[in-house]
Amino acid sequence: MDPVLTIVAGATILTVIGIMSGGTFLLRIASRGLPFNGLQKSFFRAGHAHAGVLVLLGLVSLLLTSAAGAALAWQWASVGVLASAILIPGGFFLSVLGRDPQRPGRAIALLWVGAVVLAASLLAVGIGVIAAGVAALG
């Protein structure tokens, strides 16, 4: 694996500590009845869940493209998956900040940008892994 991507993978592992602290925050909301409305609670849960799943998907993408021997450009597509692990949860969290929001704010755009980045990155990762497999056949 490219040394820079190795550093990215290591730094990503460290972000799981932040995701864990988000879980603690959700536990405090549930157990102490902190003053958040239903929309905020739902979006905080969704943001937390997406963060965890997308970080894992990004790390798997990094490892898979590297193990398959995909060209470096295809391996770098995995960074887009990791970027979506910031954008999508950021859209969930930031769009419901404030006192008793009744609907998501403008920051919800981050969620949609993240979804586009995720789809494009996964397409590139998939093509890269397939191309590496085809190249290995022949």
Cβ neighbours around 98 below 10 Å, total: 8
Helices (H), 2-107: 3-32, 38-68, 72-94
Contacts of 12 (CB under 8 A, 6+ apart): 55, 58, 59, 82
Burial class (CB in 10 A: 0-12, 13-18, 19+), 109: middle
Average pLDDT, 10 consecutive residues per value, the chain (138 residues): 91 90 80 82 92 96 96 95 97 92 95 98 98 94
What is the pLDDT, as a whole number, of residue 54? 97
> How many Å apart are CA 82 and CA 95, to the nearest integer?
20
Pull the structure tokens for residue 5.
């991507």
Q: What is the pTM of this model?
A: 0.89
